[in-house]
């Protein structure tokens, strides 16, 4: 079974809740760290989806071209990396348009997909889905069916589903992977779709979760960030809740990814869901 691999393309200081107006002072490392991921994917012939932050596309246009030229799908991760429930609908639309234009101008292809910063499409920001559809987005991967302090809709669908607006417009929602616990354990979905969890779990546990999902005949979506394969990036003072996961076990990401690529087959959202996206676009 082919699964989806994706990368949220942002620099190390962009995913730790530092406002955009303070980003100027930090060392740029995204081209080097993304280069490591591109090299690894080339070795295993993985064509992924790269959700590029608009600010990254603006500062590093050559990186976006390099991703595109290597055969990966380029989608959007918004512009400023602000949590969606902290934005007004108008501001969200404005940032989304800007991020889509930046990427489309560089790749010459339409942007089909979106992932929210910190998976922040929650019960408080479901309005964002209508705006995404309105702006031409065909699939979204932002609703995480788990409990987490800053994101999650715990009872949302774990598997890809078509969601429909009141006007009848449809879009595909594809959550990253979770494993459903059930009785005698409490009913809850265990996150196992990458990011910090890939670094926290020993590899055997990560693989076990994904194999169990595969045995259920279900779809798997796994993601990482470029800074997770850059253990040397600067250590700065952050609130404990942020630093505890951000800097945890960064050395382990690249070797674990390599094993994942040996044990599972990954492609982009655009490829794995080609027929669903075709149906939605007509």
Binding site for Zn ion (CB under 5 A): 8, 10, 15, 117
To Zn ion, the closest distance from the beta carbon of 15 in angstroms equals 5
To Zn ion, the closest distance from the beta carbon of 77 in angstroms equals 6
Residue 67 CA: distances (Å) to CA of 36, 43, 63, 114, 138: 12, 15, 6, 16, 21
To Zn ion, the closest distance from the beta carbon of 174 in angstroms equals 17
* Closer residue to Zn ion in complex, CB, 199/213: 199
Could you give the CA distance from residue 78 to residue 94 in angstroms, rounded to a whole number? 10
Could you give the CA distance from residue 246 to residue 36 in angstroms, rounded to a whole number? 19
Q: Per the structure block, which two tokens stand in for 122?
A: 């929650």
Query: Which residue in the shown chain puts its C-beta closest to Zn ion?
Result: 8
Residue 16 CB: number of other CB atoms within 10 A?
17
* Closer residue to Zn ion in complex, CB, 15/145: 15
To Zn ion, the closest distance from the beta carbon of 17 in angstroms equals 11
* Closer residue to Zn ion in complex, CB, 7/171: 7
* Closer residue to Zn ion in complex, CB, 213/257: 257
Could you give the CA distance from residue 185 to residue 170 in angstroms, rounded to a whole number? 35
Q: H/E element holding 76?
A: strand 73-76
Is it true that the peptide bond before 184 is cis, omega within 30 degrees of 0? yes
* Closer residue to Zn ion in complex, CB, 10/73: 10
To Zn ion, the closest distance from the beta carbon of 52 in angstroms equals 10
Could you give the CA distance from residue 23 to residue 273 in angstroms, rounded to a whole number? 35
* Closer residue to Zn ion in complex, CB, 15/152: 15
To Zn ion, the closest distance from the beta carbon of 281 in angstroms equals 26
Radius of gyration of the CA atoms of the chain, in A: 18
To Zn ion, the closest distance from the beta carbon of 30 in angstroms equals 12
Q: Which three-class secondary structure state does DSSP give residue 49?
A: strand
* Closer residue to Zn ion in complex, CB, 48/213: 48
* Closer residue to Zn ion in complex, CB, 95/218: 95
Residue 70 CA: distances (Å) to CA of 35, 63, 174, 260: 11, 11, 24, 20
Residue 98 CB: number of other CB atoms within 10 A?
18
To Zn ion, the closest distance from the beta carbon of 10 in angstroms equals 5
In 107-226, DSSP assigns E strands to 113-114, 139-140, 161-164, 170-173, 178-181, 188-191, 221-224
């Amino acid at each position: 079974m082919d699964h989806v691999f994706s990368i949220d393309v942002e620099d190390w200081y962009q995913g730790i809740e530092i406002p955009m107006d303070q980003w100027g002072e930090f060392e740029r490392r995204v081209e080097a760290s993304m280069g490591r991921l591109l090299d690894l994917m080339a070795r295993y012939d993985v064509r992924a989806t790269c959700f590029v932050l608009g600010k990254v596309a603006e500062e590093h246009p050559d990186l976006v071209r390099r991703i595109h030229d290597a055969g990966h799908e380029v989608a959007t991760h918004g512009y400023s990396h602000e949590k969606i429930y902290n934005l007004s609908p108008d501001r969200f639309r404005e940032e989304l348009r800007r991020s889509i234009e930046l990427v489309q101008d560089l790749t010459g292809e339409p942007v089909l997909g979106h992932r929210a910063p910190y998976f922040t499409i929650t019960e408080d920001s479901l309005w964002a889905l209508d705006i995404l559809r309105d702006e031409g987005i065909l699939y979204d991967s932002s609703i995480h069916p788990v409990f987490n302090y800053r994101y999650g809709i715990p009872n949302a669908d774990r598997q890809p589903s078509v969601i429909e607006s009141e006007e009848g417009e449809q879009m595909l929602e594809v959550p990253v992977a979770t494993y459903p616990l059930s009785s005698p354990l409490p009913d809850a979905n265990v996150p196992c779709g990458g990011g910090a969890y890939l670094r926290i779990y020993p590899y055997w546990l990560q693989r076990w979760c994904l194999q169990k999902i595969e045995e259920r005949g279900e779809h798997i979506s796994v993601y990482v960030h470029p800074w997770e394969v850059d253990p040397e990036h600067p250590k700065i003072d952050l609130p404990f809740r942020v630093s505890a996961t951000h800097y945890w076990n960064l050395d382990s990401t690249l070797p674990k990814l390599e094993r994942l690529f040996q044990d599972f087959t990954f492609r982009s959202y655009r490829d794995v869901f080609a027929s669903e996206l075709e149906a939605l676009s007509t």
